A and B are shown apart, each in its own frame.
Chain A
Amino acid sequence: MSIIYALATPPAQSAICVFRVSGEGCLDALSKLFSSELVEPRYFYKTEMLNNGAFIDSVAVVFFKGPKSFTGEDSFEVYAHGGLAVMSKIVEVFDAIGFEEAQPGEFSKRAFLNNKISLSQAEAVSDLISASSKEEASRVSLVLGGDFESRVFDFSGQLDALRVLVEGEIDFTDEDEVFIQNLAGLGADVSRLSAEFCSFAGACSSRKDRFNKPRVLIAGPPNSGKSSLFNSLLSRDRSIVSSIAGTTRDLIDSELVLQNIVLTLGDSAGVRDTDDLIEGAGINISFDEIKKSDLVILVFDEETESSVSFFRELLGEQKYLLVYNKIDVSDKRPLGFDLFVSAKEMDGLNELRKILDERLSVDEIEDLTYLVRERHINIFSEVSSRLDFVSSSIEANESLDVVAENLKACRDLLAEVVGIKTSDELLGEIFSSFCIGK
């Protein structure tokens, strides 16, 4: 049986989350996934979870050798921090190494099949499968709600229409009907569909990215301590910090991991009147960056406090936080600021983190649908790249049987979302739109 994984805790923010993994061969992946060697089964190990060597989270892991496990198979459990961002990363890593997301009730089912649970418990398993498959279904429909869903159906319909022509051209070649006028036309149609699908998949993943990682920009007048704040938030020395105005020549992005979300934190060049050309270019980027951001942290200090209204005007509708920095060297607490911090002394930063987390976290529904989304987006990207391949193969004069196979493979990928297309249904479409038969 394949290796399956599932989130055992609810897909919502909590102190910790638990992932279960089961299936023959799953223990082979341990050395790749965790930084330290796990020796004994049924022992609790504190270690670091890695993605191709890159740190994801501090976790605890326990593994079991079959048949001494819940499912009766080799299995392991990961206890990670319960933030959605961490969960999403773990799902990504599991998918990448070929683990499959478990069907509803599949762990219990395997346990039952391997004689690990009793008959009466098995009755409960059946209930569980049917109940949670309903839940799963409604979850998927939530993800695909609105135009999202109708667009996927629309695409699969367009794909089916192309398949009708290709299959018709193959199976009804001696009929009095023209299915494909010329192959170049077919190639163009596939290529158009591929482009549309590509932009659709792109839109999906940018929605995903935005959801995953809101952009936060630190901006403000020169020398107000933006880079210090940036570095303090990230707790590391990322950009060059100096007391000379205008040192941040390039924009530096970095990921800030909070409890619920991961956000992209940007440090802008100081916005001020300048005839320094390089700096000038830097300011242009800053204006662009401001527009792209979900939230701007405006940083001022005692010396620059007077320019608050200038920046407010600059931001217009944009959401922002007004932060007053350098409280370690100033006793002033002017009105209108959201927060008073000292980047240098790390004072008030936890509060800043909390505010960011709250302001940028998404609502409940998005929480629920969070984990299902990844898989579908992966499917869409795959379909788009396969369609690309089909259109270039038509251009290279590939034979129709191979073209048909690749189109079918694209359609099969969509089956998870829109259901399968049986060959009989496809034939039915041929018969209803073309006059076939002798």
Chain B
Amino acid sequence: MNNKYDVIVIGGGHAGCEAAHAAHRKKLKTCLISISENSIGQMSCNPAIGGLGKTHLVKEIDAAGGIMAEATDASGIQYRTLNTRKGQTVRSLRVQCDRDKYKEAVQKIIKGTDIEVIEAEVEDIEIKKGKAEAVLLNSGKRINGEAIILTTGTFLKGVMYKGDKKTEGGRVGDKASIKLADKLYSLKLPMGRLKTGTPARIKLTSLDLENMEEQPGEEPTPWMSKKGKNTKHIKQISCYITRTNTETHKEISDNIKKSAMYSGNIVGIGPRYCPSIEDKIHKFPLKESHQIFIEPEGVDVDLVYPNGISTSLPEENQKRFIQTIKGMESAEITEYGYAVEYDFVDPRALNKTLELIDVENLYLAGQINGTTGYEEAAAQGLMAGVNASLKICKEESLILERHDGYIGVLIDDLINLGVTEPYRMFTSRAEHRLMFSQDNAEQRLTEKFYKKGFVESEQYNRYSKQEEAYKNFKKLNEAKTISAENKNQKLRDFLKKPNPDLKKIAKLIETEDQENLERLANECKYEGYIKKQLREIKRNEKSLKKHIPIEINFTEIQGLSAEVKERLSTSRPKTIGDASRLEGVTPAAISLITVAIAKKNK
């Protein structure tokens, strides 16, 4: 262990690993400090990667040189593409992973680099004159760093609830880091409290799978990563679907007062899209049955994650309601469900680079910023790692805008709007959704990250070759005229129609390159919309990018309503564009801010 690094990453979750790996790709001296070396890359919730909006994030991380997709492919046991018939831009590949193999894959990737992994507890971050300089370990050792990236998840005042039982800590088996938490509180950052929950874990062999609906993966099995590092899938297995019934609901309703969530113990705000089974039954009493996904924890692991029944009921009630469910009558529970409540830092305290506005060189990424999900955490880790590295190298920062992709939307939403519930990505959050598909992440990002030194040449060369091949395909075929529907038409015009029959077209233009044909078809289909959006983006670019100086005191701007003043003051928008996306901010308010800026500048 040295006593000086360029980048110090605290926390070895999905955000921490991406952050450290990005710094490593930039060839900076990096260390990753984790309380437990063995839990690096741990999936702490359900063992799956991807989903609507989330897959887009993973693909973007991959295109930027990150590791999440690669680790997914090393551990994927069931692949399914969602939304196959709703348009290419909203198609999403979701992968069930072997929980242990995922962690192993991440650890293997990290160990394959010169990132130094340090198993220790961080007790303090030293800040001098508003700049973070070093971390202090529980061993008493002091380590200096040019940048410190904090990715410690839910460790801030984490409390677990199960019925009336209350335990401190963010995750079963992990101790909470009290001293570091105290340090963070002493910085007087704006904080909020959130909650989340998990279901019980059940032995696979105790389930009657014959009585459930089997859901096999798709064939041929696709890949999450485009890097081509994995060449062979591990064993593929099925997931299963079962449902709750009226008996289940009765057991839960009868005991709902015993649930930590309903006893008034928990004040944190839970996600609206991830309710506990208690919530579902309470809020939708007319629904007689809820779906449960039985997700295997691994290939040779006797454990499943029953997705859909997260709960904070006492143990005996959990067992009773679970055993009313079809196929789960003799379920053996290895670990009971619980709710977790934790503090997070209001991400409006961050810059676009995820560096704290008030503490230079200290970056926050992941769940600590109020997000939920591995993918959301990893995306932030990547961007914090990238921008901390660029700052150390004295290069211009790399900011992804809302029209660059889902990562841009994620960070922009966080730092401008803050969070009111654990933030999860959905495709509907992206106003330029038709510009981003899981298949065009490379075209949007790889060049950008390669130029800054975050994409390795092997990946970039493969990408360049692929683009070259597409260019040639396009040149060769684009102008072809085909005769279909009793008339001759240009291939381009034909592809623009809804749902063109690509197999038929492939025959007509005599190609076997379905992949590039599909790409061309999608290009033709979305082209008009994308052009229109790009025009709009360009038209507003200059005014929206106008920087709002930090000295601007919104409360002093005459003519703004009290409500708008308050919203602007808490959100601290960095540009005119950011301000204009806030609720209640009218064009007239934007005018007043512009005038105020000009006044300051004179």
Taking CB atoms, residues of chain A closer than 8 Å to B456 are none
CA separation between A405 and B529, bound complex, in Å? 9
Do the beta carbons of A438 and B308 come within 8 Å of each other?
yes
- With CB as the reference atom, state the residue of chain A lying closest to B310: A438
Q: Are A171 and B427 in contact (CB under 8 A)?
A: yes
Residues of chain A lying within 8 A (CB to CB) of residue B280: 435, 437
In the assembled complex, B231 has its CB within 8 A of some CB on chain A: no
A129 touches B53 (CB 8 A): no
B274 surroundings in chain A (CB, below 8 A): 437-438
* B433 within 8 A of partner (CB): yes
- How far in angstroms is the closest Cβ of chain B from A124? 10
Q: Flag if B434 contacts A401 (CB, 8 Å).
A: yes
Which of B12-20, B132-140, B282-290, B358-366 binds A?
B282-290
Pair B82/A402 contact, Cβ less than 8 Å? no
- Whether, in the assembled complex, A112 has its beta carbon less than 8 Å from a beta carbon of chain B, the answer is yes
Q: Are B428 and A103 in contact (CB under 8 A)?
A: no
A153-191 CB contacts (< 8 Å) to partner B: 167, 169-176
Report the minimal beta-carbon distance from B522 to chain A, rounded to whole angstroms: 10
Q: Does B264 contact A (CB under 8 A)?
A: no
Q: A174 and B82: CB pair below 8 A? A: yes
Given contacts A125-B595, A133-B588, A426-B428, contact A435 B287 (CB under 8 A): yes
Q: Which residue of B lies closest to A393 (CB)?
A: B498
- A335-350: CB near B (< 8 Å → 1, else 0) gives 0000000000000000
Contact A396–B90 (Cβ < 8 Å): no
**Complex interface bits, B287-298 against A, C-beta within 8 A gives 1, otherwise 0:** 100111100000
User: Is the C-beta of A226 less than 8 angstroms from some C-beta in chain B?
Assistant: no
For residue B286, which residue of chain A has the nearest CB? A435
Identify A171's interface contact among B307, B426, B596, CB under 8 A: B426
The smallest C-beta distance from B226 to any residue of chain A, in angstroms, reads: 22
Q: Which residues of A contact B526 (CB under 8 A)?
A: 402
Total interface residues on B, using CB and 8 Å?
61
Are B588 and A173 in contact (CB-based, < 8 A)? no
Cβ-defined contact, A423 with B431, below 8 A: yes
Within 8 A of B (CB), among A74-125: 103-106, 109, 112-113, 119, 122-123, 125
Whether A427 touches B426, Cβ cut-off 8 Å, given contacts A112-B598, A401-B87, A437-B275, is yes
Q: B458 at the A/B interface (Cβ < 8 Å)?
A: no
Asked whether B586 lies within 8 Å of A133 as measured between CB atoms, the reply is: yes
> In the complex, A171 Cα to B88 Cα: how many Å?
13
CB distance from B496 to the nearest CB of A (A): 11
A397 and B499 contact, CB distance less than 8 A: yes
Contacts of B417 in A (CB 8 A): 424
Q: Is A41 an interface residue (CB 8 A)?
A: no
- In the complex, A398 Cα to B89 Cα: how many Å? 13
CB contacts (< 8 Å) of A43 on chain B: these are none
In the complex the two chains form, what is the Cα distance from A129 to B291 in whole Å? 55
A431 contacts the other chain (Cβ, under 8 Å)?
Answer: yes
| Contacting residues, chain A, for B558 (C-beta < 8 A) | 123, 126-127, 130
Q: Are A126 and B559 in contact (CB under 8 A)?
A: yes
A112–B431 CB distance below 8 A: no
Does B595 contact A402, Cβ atoms closer than 8 Å?
Answer: no
Asked, given contacts A171-B426, A436-B273, whether A400 binds B87 with beta carbons under 8 Å apart, the answer is: yes
A119 touches B599 (CB 8 A): yes
B422 to chain A, nearest CB (A): 11
Query: A428 on the interface (CB 8 Å rule)?
Result: yes
Given contacts A103-B588, A109-B595, contact A169 B498 (CB under 8 A): no
Interface residues of A (CB under 8 A from B): 1-2, 103-106, 109, 112-113, 119, 122-123, 125-127, 129-131, 133, 136, 167, 169-176, 393, 396-402, 404-405, 408, 422-424, 426-428, 431-432, 435-438
Contacts from B to A (Cβ < 8 Å): 46, 51-53, 82-83, 85-90, 94, 271-275, 280, 283-284, 287, 290-293, 307-308, 310, 417, 426-429, 431, 433-434, 497-499, 525-526, 529, 539, 543, 557-560, 583, 586-588, 591-592, 594-596, 598-599, 602
Q: What are 28 A-B contacts defined by CB distance under 8 Å?
A: A104-B591, A106-B591, A113-B594, A126-B592, A130-B588, A133-B559, A133-B588, A170-B86, A170-B90, A170-B427, A171-B52, A171-B53, A173-B52, A173-B82, A174-B82, A176-B290, A400-B87, A401-B87, A401-B88, A401-B89, A402-B529, A405-B434, A405-B529, A426-B428, A431-B273, A435-B280, A436-B272, A437-B280
